[in-house]
Structure 1
Amino acid sequence: MAIIGKLVKAGIDLTSKFQTEDESPQNAQENQLRELLTQAKNTAFGKYYGFGEILKAEDLISAYRQEVPIFNYDNMHEQWWCRQERLEDITWPGKPDFFARSSGTTGKSSKRIPITKEFLASMRSVGSSMINSLHEFDFPETLFESEVLMLSSSASLEDNEQGFKEGEISGINVSNFPGWFDIFYRPGKEIASISDWDERVEAIAAQAPNWNIGAIAGIPSWVLLMLQRIIARHELTTIHEIWPNFQVYASGGVAFETYREDFEAICKTPVTILDTYLASEGFIAYTGTPDTMAMKLALSHGYFFEFIPFDKRGITDSGELLSDPLVLGIDEVEVGEEYVLLLSSCAGAWRYTIGDVVRFESMEPPQIKITGRTKFFLNVVGSQLSEEKMDKAILELAELYGTTINEYMVGAIKNEHGDYIHQWVLVSDIKSEGLADKLDELLKSANKNYAVARSKALKGISVKVISKDQYTNYLSQTNKKGGQTKTPKVMVAEKMEKLLKIINQP
């Protein structure tokens, strides 16, 4: 493996010298849109919305916005994607071989997103760009001599009666890895195909001493549990006792900060944390610059992006899109501002709202951070709490009590008097006495709108602390355990009441 490591590192260094970014972000995005419209102009969607005529327009982007409406999942699926499960050439040429089931952080059930050959190629292309960016970090050759552990959802896909396979996007990606990936990919397709989460992790833990892991990728909550299980099984103090070359962790799916302290506790040496924006709808961005968690947008990989201001110009007080929101291009956004992301892609998504809110950290190059989801915006009685503000309060609370709080859930429910309160559920070993008052103070100091709401319609908050075992039991009972699963931080009243019922069971 040593000679392979030298060759890989040399190849990355050489590639970086020939990479140029002379094309402006605006030109790159216009070229992507033109290519997408050209490929899809003869589909049912393309004919219905006149892609051929849009391509003739002097201002391509303006014509596209004028002719094609904004879609959410429900109307995209009901009007188009459900037909694409059975028929060819609906929103993209041909018929998809795969549909990705989303992890279900929003909505009543998992979504089903079409996955085309071109889309899989685009994700591999973004992955290659991320690997090439490692040149900027100056990692030692030992990293490239080691193996990569990807903790995905099950690679055992289900056959649909309509002739396609379905599963979560990470499982679809793993199932499509070329054979030569086996040289460095762990745990390997056999273990990755184990459907039961606990069995899969036990198999990983059993094989761990046989691997030389240098990098790990996956959602923080599940990666942390896996590493803790490996440490417990082999009676270790830190994960570096078994994997001394572990140097890189590619996070994604949820914000990493609430997990940082627990990750550092099981590592003997510092690990470089890279963030990734890899959703069922695309590999949208990745960390490509040292000493930041900001992510570089994939502007030339089969995606066209638009941005709706996450304020009164684009959304309602409850976080829903306005009927005619302001829509901006990559050349019109501003650093420090938050936007709802719209995506058009080579999977046949058109002006599609993913549900994520991003903030631009820089424009040269365009780099973003995910600050939350539109549905993780708690504003039932005017509290206007974003996911980022809630994360900040939880981190401060954990620091005050000298502990960690990885997961939390909150929802606006009515108490016995019919008044609204915020019900919080924290996953931690923290003592619950006095927590509600302290969390209330932190939220008031961080957000004036919350303070106003607390003086009016929001009559109080309640905090319940549960153990990690109780949380895992809840996930098992709701079939949300492992893989790419992300628990919604903001719950509607019905889901919060279901959670409370499960965790209160004797």
Structure 2
Amino acid sequence: MASIIDIKLPRALATALRIPQNDPKRQQVKVLKKLLKKARFTEFGQKYRFDEALLNRNTAKRFQELVPVHDYNKIYNEWWEKTLEGVPDVTWPGKIKFYALSSGTSESASKYIPVTKDLLRSNTINYIRQLISVFGYEDANRKALTKGFLMLGGATDLQKGAAGWYAGDLSGILAKKRPFWFQTFYKPGGRIAAIKDWNQKLNEIVEHAKEWDIGYIVGVPAWCQMCMEMIIEHYKVKNIHEIWPNFGVFVHGGVAFEPYKKGFEKLLGKPIVYIENYLSSEGFIGYKTREHAKGMQLVLNNNIFFEFVPFDDKNFDADGKINANPEAKMIHEVEAGKEYALLMSTNAGAWRYMIGDTIKFVDLEKSEVVITGRTKHFLSLVGEHLSVENMNKAIEDISEEYNISVPEYTVVGFPYEGFFAHKWYIATDDQIDAEKVRQRIDDTLRKINDDYATERDSALKGMFLEVLSEEQFLKFMELKGKLGSQHKFPRVMKGKMLEEWNRFLETGTI
């Protein structure tokens, strides 16, 4: 069944009328012009001369010339901070009523990302499109789409700011603002959704699970897996389908699903359809529209203007910080297989905003992408979003607390007891109590990173530490041919280098 929103003209008719069937460039230019017209009288639009870009023959190029690239710190310090004081018409018309609290940095526990009514409306449209697309899946259990929708997300009990705004997890905001017609299908319901304590929320869901007929589950894989395991254990059944026989669709995003899939499928009594979506606090970026697609299709015609900065030495420094005037390509200029950092301009007042993800196009014709990582070193096995800033802060704390020198360190993530764990390797030649240091690092990370704190009480089951000598770190770099000030020890070990690191610790060679 074709999407009623994305009906295409027959190829011959489209050719005859000289209307491109699916012209990504035209879609994106139309989106950009719409955004600029709506925001041209804001403070931001006046400063960066949106009217001038609109009057130019090449609106997109002039927009790129007039407006600088922003990361979170830049746009928050110069613009968004004002909106928290209730100032209207800063980067988007009107006052901001909601803020999504995104993963923490070393400066503060959380980032405040504006969420406007326009953005919520766009997200809802994309959810409906995604739902409709499932009807085209060969293996989809269409009956599942008429049953209950279980959404496992953040609490809808949001914190209130002095200027009258509300802030919380994006999934909590979306659940709180769900359309009235969705109420019949929505689970776990308003009362349970408002619970902030994750364990209490899970226990409530388990208690009521048998009363619901769930066909469609949305959430982070680790949390959903934990919830199903608890239900299976509580009701002494073999699999989740004995409780929810119509469960047929699982929508996930935020972290790679592949490490979970094997364990997830052990909880099932029959096959289900998996749908990956690309939803950030800044907007609904894309979703899988085909069952066996390699990647997610970018949503090009719904209020997000995308730019793609080649993720290379020309545009980024060694720490992953973007240069002042990066090369930014539009959708029709990208190449398959190359890695790009994603910039977004949205109807929530983000302009040429770098969300920090790196992506790669796997199908140019369909504008399908996969997420390849982050612009900076990052560790996020289950959504803990542990950044190098967080890690550096933890090392700084232990150095000051115990008066020790830690010249090098690295962190790895790995499967552990059916879930995941981190292991820290720190270099110091000082005498230390390793357990006290481990505990202090863990405590620091919990304080400065909300997502880490949440996951340490759920899917991130362990945090370990091994103390090595500085000489061992230097020896490894020497064996890699990377001794010298121009080479930096990786803060996060992954892939081939992790294999070499493990081999080096076992044998002394790589």
TM-score, length basis structure 1: 0.76
2:287 aligned with 1:305, yes or no?
no
The match for 1:119 is 119
After superposition, give the CA deviation of every residue in 1:432-460 in whole Å (9 maximum; x if it has no partner): xxx99xxx9xxxxxxxxxxxxxxxx9xxx
Aligned position for 1:481:
454
Q: 1:22: which partner in 2?
A: 21
Structure 2: gaps (5+ residues): 10-19, 428-433, 435-440, 466-488, 493-510
Q: How does 1:247-396 map to 2 (within 5 A)?
A: 247-376=248-377
**Over residues 84-139 of structure 1, what are the superposed CA-to-partner deviations in whole Å (9 max), with x where a residue is unaligned?**
22111111111011111113378743110111111111111111211121132042
> Offset at 1:408?
11
Distance 1:148 1:98 in 2: 24
Q: Which moved more, 1:214-223 or 1:299-308?
A: 214-223
- In 2, distance between residues paired with 1:264 and 1:369? 23
Once the two structures are superposed, what CA deviation does each residue of 1:132-190 show, in whole Å capped at 9, x if it has no partner?
21132042332223211110100111211111111111111111112221111111112
> Contact 1:259 / 1:406 at 8 angstroms: preserved in 2?
no
User: Post-superposition shift, 1:269?
Assistant: 1.6
Question: Does the CA-based 8 Å contact 1:103-1:168 persist in structure 2?
Answer: no
User: Secondary structure of the residue that 1:290 maps to in structure 2?
Assistant: coil
Secondary structure at the counterpart of residue 355 of structure 1: strand
8 Å CA contact 1:253, 1:484 repeated in 2: no
Aligned positions of 1:55-454 closer than 5 A: 55-85=54-84, 86-104=86-104, 108-138=108-138, 139-376=140-377, 420-424=408-412, 426-429=414-417
Q: Secondary structure at the match of 1:18?
A: coil
Aligned pair count? 425
Q: Which amino acid aligns with 1:101?
A: L
Report the more deviating stretch, 296-305 or 286-295: 286-295
Structure-2 separation of matches of 1:484 and 1:252: 20
| 2:319 alignment partner, SS class | coil
Query: Aligned partners of 1:247 and 1:209: how far apart in 2?
Result: 17
Write the distance in 2 (CA, Å) between the matches of 1:240 and 1:212: 10
Inter-partner Cα distance in structure 2 for 1:178 and 1:484:
31
Amino acid in structure 2 at the alignment position of 1:65: Q
Moved more, 196-205 or 415-424: 415-424
Q: Which amino acid aligns with 1:328?
A: K
Task: Give the superposition deviation at 1:19.
Answer: 4.7
Alpha-carbon distance in structure 2 between the residues aligned to 1:99 and 1:72: 17
Shift of 1:54: 1.1
Partner SS for 1:55: helix
Q: CA distance change for structure 1 residues 89 and 474 in 2, over 3 Å: closer, same or farther? A: closer
SS at match of 1:481: helix
Please list every run of 5 or more consecutive structure 1 residues that lacks an aligned counterpart in the other structure.
Answer: 1-11, 378-386, 392-404, 441-456, 458-463, 465-470, 497-506
| Conserved? CA contact 2:32–2:305, under 8 Å | yes
The residue aligned with 2:508 is: none
Q: Which moved more, 1:406-415 or 1:128-137?
A: 406-415
**Superposition RMSD in Å:** 3.7
Q: State the Cα distance separating 1:40 from its structure 2 match.
A: 0.3
2-structure distance, mates of 1:408, 1:102: 10
Shift of 1:16: 6.5
Alpha-carbon distance change, 484 to 372 in structure 1, aligned in 2, over 3 angstroms: farther
Normalising by the residue count of structure 2, what TM-score does the alignment of the two structures yield? 0.75
8 Å Cα contact 1:239-1:266 kept in structure 2: yes
Counterpart amino acid of residue 18 in structure 1: I
Q: Higher mean Cα deviation, 471-480 or 419-428?
A: 471-480
Output the CA distance in 2 between the equivalents of 1:239 and 1:364: 38
**1:475–1:481 CA contact under 8 A, matched in 2:** no
Output the CA distance in 1 between the equivalents of 2:128 and 2:357. 24
Alpha carbons of structure 1 residues 62 and 14: separation in structure 2 relative to 1, 3 Å: closer
**Given that residues 123 and 284 in structure 2 are in contact (C-alpha distance below 8 angstroms), is that contact kept between their aligned partners in structure 1?**
yes
Determine helix, strand or coil for the equivalent of 1:34.
helix
Instruction: State the distance in 2 between where 1:97 and 1:19 align.
Output: 37
| Cα distance per residue 1:18-62 (max 9 Å; x no partner) | 355824000000010000000000011100111111110111111
Amino acid at match of 2:313: K
Shift in Å, 1:482:
6.4
User: Residue 73 and residue 350 in structure 1: after superposition, are their counterparts in 2 closer, same or farther (change >3 A)?
Assistant: same
| SS of structure 2 residue aligned to 1:65 | helix
Partner of 1:37: 36
What secondary structure does 1:334 align onto?
coil
The runs of 4+ residues in structure 1 deviating greater than 4 Å are: 105-108, 405-419, 471-479, 482-487
Instruction: Read off the aligned partner of 2:241 and give its amino acid letter.
Output: H
